[in-house]
Structure 1
């Protein structure tokens, strides 16, 4: 397992994902050792100064695809995120609301998916692949990540190191619990929108393990190298920054700056992760669209790039493909404004309504409460109110009635999805 693109799968393959109730306040999925070097859990990170749920800002890369008189969407996501990325931006919210179905690589809360990923590995396989110095290196990385001994030890070897790799970016405020796919799924469930998986857990596991034990062991060694050197953390942070500013141009040049395609083994892995999977993802999106559904397809952003990327594949299938969010942007967000305190209503008195600024007499009708003074402007015609001595408020000229809008006036223009 090498490169950031592997981490883009973490949101979906994490075996504990169904236990995560990120927005409902559940704790982090792993048990962490209690020492000062451990980063805060995802939920605790929200309490740090400068981190707050804000107005949504458009991030990521988005294309509109149209065919047969219907509109669907391709949204490139990242499977880790920051606390203030939880709320989608207005363009993303509108596109999701207009869609009938949310399509993800996997539905991480599906019970069958959880069982597949949590299935214990063959003990003999674990003994063969995770032994000697490799096992000691993995143990050291577990300690560095504050993962309690034994938490991951029964998993498939490649999943053990994949889970660790997904935790390294916590030091930079990036958490799998805030992965974009997960927050979209929460939004869809809150609005009773169906969620469809474009792949199965078994298919993704096969992609990760490779063709042989030797290949799986090679991927584990490469991942441990990147964890120990700090290279992986830097790659993940850079990819997150590129994604957050919707920089599709730099994303398309991923092979030039990721440092993850230097060997034949790395190139084979990238092909399995992206090019080999993209046609199947495109098939699923096309099938849902042809069935009469407007689809919001949210998959890892690296599935959008290159001649085998989803926008190119969908165009080849007869879709009109239009970029919506693909230019590098200077993203800003303002904190959610505080709700203003409601103005106090009129004070009720026994026997009637109080007149603003006057105290009602106990048991007296409202009209008697003003005896000896000016009558309320509400109770008297405008002419009499102007004659009454001492009625300062009533001396003000009556407001002219508001002009009616001319017949046939056009309503206010509605916002358009940005092209």
Structure 2
């Protein structure tokens, strides 16, 4: 279950005092060069957590970032915080006194949730009004943090901070409201199922294994490993697995491809950075850009 890595980009206030550009950094994630006439866009695959050791990024990408007229992200985590807060309230929190989420769970899962909250040091009052899908995402992020990866060092946030510091244009390919609405539109029963499967994945150590696998694949720009992750995601028959492959990936990829194509048309030099699993597997963003007649080259 790679849910949190796919979408958790919002509400970050990062500090990167330990990251500096020195030495020869290795390739990370996946990188594509997209051309249309004299315009060039670099398409970079990110993950939505990070570590100080991730930075700086490799010189070719750092040069592209410095020379870019615009940086495009799924959502700018340094963008309008009131919009982020509004989306959280609308799609992630119970309204009109409904809740807590544990009431949606079968009795056997309620003590399991309580144990995980204690394990991650989460005050139950913090999640009292959160919908089940949001609690599941919070637990997943805490599990990645337990593996040494931090949400406040997310790749998207690091890129955003770099661009804002240089006064570059930052373009959002989606909105935080639209992202969260994908989760919020789940029925109460489906959200409870989503949370149950997340609890099971953490208890079975599957979440920990997946966290290490995808982070290591991204850190080493391991194309074969990323392809295996994409294949596993596509073949996952759990409710949450299907939600990831059918909603978080397949449903969003066409809009992301349209956004990158528009960026390429309007900006002479640009960088677009989106979750790495959008760049691999069937129906990926690079595949969709190829079908638009654009020249697409995989760099790594």
TM-score, L = length of structure 2: 0.88
Question: Match of 1:203?
Answer: 178
Using the TM superposition, give the Cα deviation of residue 259 of structure 1 relative to its aligned residue in structure 2, in angstroms.
9.6
Q: Is the alpha carbon distance of 1:257 and 1:269 closer, same or farther for their aligned partners in structure 2, counting shifts above 3 Å? A: closer
Question: Match of 1:263?
Answer: 238
Task: Output aligned runs, 1:68-217, within 5 Å.
Answer: 68-109=37-78, 110-111=80-81, 112-118=83-89, 120-122=93-95, 123-126=97-100, 128-129=103-104, 132-217=107-192
Task: Output aligned runs, 1:311-322, within 5 Å.
Answer: 311-322=286-297
Using the TM superposition, give the Cα deviation of residue 130 of structure 1 relative to its aligned residue in structure 2, in angstroms.
5.1
Q: Is 1:22–2:22 an aligned residue pair?
A: no
Q: Deviations over 1:66-124 (max 9, x none)?
A: 00310001101111122211322212101212221111111122221233125542232
Q: Is the alpha carbon distance of 1:255 and 1:86 closer, same or farther for their aligned partners in structure 2, counting shifts above 3 Å? A: closer
Using the TM superposition, give the Cα deviation of residue 63 of structure 1 relative to its aligned residue in structure 2, in angstroms.
0.2
Q: Is the alpha carbon distance of 1:260 and 1:83 closer, same or farther for their aligned partners in structure 2, counting shifts above 3 Å? A: farther
Take 1:268 and 1:86, find their aligned partners in 2: how far apart are those partners?
A: 31
Please say which of residues 191-200 and 208-217 is displaced more in the overlay: 208-217
- 8 Å Cα contact 1:53/1:83 also seen in 2: no
Take 2:38 and 2:174, find their aligned partners in 1: how far apart are those partners?
A: 26
Per residue, is there more helix in 1 or in 2?
Answer: 2
Task: Output aligned runs, 1:366-377, within 5 Å.
Answer: none
- 8 Å Cα contact 1:22/1:177 also seen in 2: yes
Root-mean-square deviation (CA, aligned residues, Å) is 2.5
Take 1:132 and 1:54, find their aligned partners in 2: how far apart are those partners?
A: 54
Using the TM superposition, give the Cα deviation of residue 231 of structure 1 relative to its aligned residue in structure 2, in angstroms.
1.1
Query: Where does the alignment leave 5 or more consecutive residues of structure 1 unmatched?
Result: 25-45, 326-419
Take 1:272 and 1:126, find their aligned partners in 2: how far apart are those partners?
A: 26
Q: Is the alpha carbon distance of 1:105 and 1:52 closer, same or farther for their aligned partners in structure 2, counting shifts above 3 Å? A: closer
- 8 Å Cα contact 1:209/1:215 also seen in 2: no
TM-score, L = length of structure 1: 0.64
Take 2:122 and 2:62, find their aligned partners in 1: how far apart are those partners?
A: 36
2:8 corresponds to which of 8, 11, 14: 11
- 8 Å Cα contact 1:81/1:174 also seen in 2: yes
Q: Deviations over 1:8-54 (max 9, x none)?
A: 135314xx42xx23226xxxxxxxxxxxxxxxxxxxxx7xxxx9996
* Bigger relative CO (Cα 8 Å, ≥ 6 apart): 2
Take 2:249 and 2:233, find their aligned partners in 1: how far apart are those partners?
A: 15
Q: Deviations over 1:322-346 (max 9, x none)?
A: 1112xxxxxxxxxxxxxxxxxxxxx
Using the TM superposition, give the Cα deviation of residue 256 of structure 1 relative to its aligned residue in structure 2, in angstroms.
4.5
Take 2:192 and 2:278, find their aligned partners in 1: how far apart are those partners?
A: 25
Take 1:129 and 1:187, find their aligned partners in 2: how far apart are those partners?
A: 42
When the two structures are aligned, how many residues end up with a matched partner?
293
Take 1:104 and 1:259, find their aligned partners in 2: how far apart are those partners?
A: 24
Take 1:286 and 1:117, find their aligned partners in 2: how far apart are those partners?
A: 29
Query: Where does the alignment leave 5 or more consecutive residues of structure 2 unmatched?
Result: none
Question: Match of 1:301?
Answer: 276
Question: Match of 2:203?
Answer: 228
Q: Is the alpha carbon distance of 1:267 and 1:259 closer, same or farther for their aligned partners in structure 2, counting shifts above 3 Å? A: closer
Q: Deviations over 1:207-266 (max 9, x none)?
A: 224532211111111001011122101111111111111112221222555697033663
Using the TM superposition, give the Cα deviation of residue 169 of structure 1 relative to its aligned residue in structure 2, in angstroms.
2.2
